[in-house]
């Protein structure tokens, strides 16, 4: 499922291979109004609520098999009641679009990434996968 309310697949831009200062982007930026609802794209588990300098307010979710991690960044705030380790269902409200971290204040967006996890299932480490083809086929949220 698409992670941001009110965004159609046709509005998505594939920014996976774009350059960013010092690295490849390896994620999709989904532009939306500040405060737009962000939803879990899949079932699984909320693994980590983490604040970082580049990502701002972020959330890491694993898929049900623990093979994939979904990373949501630049959130304005989290949804109420989130706890690390809690199960998530596809479509659960997890937060709101913002520009925390290194996102431009005038361009709030969700930075969304997918990683294939290694055998140790570390939330901070994985092989990036371009989510764009799957999101093109995903159903809109909200």
Of the pair 44, 131, the CB lying nearest Zn ion is at 131
Q: Which three-class secondary structure string do you get for 51-112?
A: EECCCEEEEEEECCCCCEEEEEEEEEEECCCCCCCCEECCCCEEEEEECCCCCCCCCCEEEE
Minimum gap (Å) between residue 85 Cβ and Zn ion: 26
Of the pair 39, 72, the CB lying nearest Zn ion is at 72
CA 18 to chain CA mean position, Å:
17
Q: Which residue is nearest to Zn ion (CB)?
A: 111
Interface with Zn ion by CB under 5 A: which residues? Answer: 27, 29, 111
Of the pair 19, 81, the CB lying nearest Zn ion is at 19
Of the pair 78, 112, the CB lying nearest Zn ion is at 112
The CA distance from 51 to 103, in Å, is 14
The CA distance from 109 to 72, in Å, is 10
Diameter of the chain measured on Cα atoms: 39
Minimum gap (Å) between residue 140 Cβ and Zn ion: 21
Minimum gap (Å) between residue 109 Cβ and Zn ion: 7
Minimum gap (Å) between residue 25 Cβ and Zn ion: 6
């Amino acid at each position: 499922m698409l992670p941001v309310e009110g965004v159609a697949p046709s509005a998505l831009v594939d920014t996976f291979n774009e350059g960013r200062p010092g690295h490849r982007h390896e994620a999709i930026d989904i532009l939306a109004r500040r405060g737009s609802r962000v939803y879990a794209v899949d079932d699984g588990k909320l693994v980590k609520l983490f604040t970082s300098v580049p990502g701002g307010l972020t959330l890491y979710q694993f898929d049900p098999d623990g093979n994939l991690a979904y990373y949501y960044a630049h959130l304005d705030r989290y949804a109420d009641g989130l706890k690390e380790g809690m199960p998530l269902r596809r479509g659960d409200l997890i937060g709101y679009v913002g520009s925390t971290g290194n996102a431009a204040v005038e361009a709030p967006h969700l930075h969304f990434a997918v990683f294939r996890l290694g055998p140790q299932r570390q939330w901070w480490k994985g092989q990036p996968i371009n989510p764009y083809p799957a999101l093109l086929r995903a159903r809109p949220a909200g």
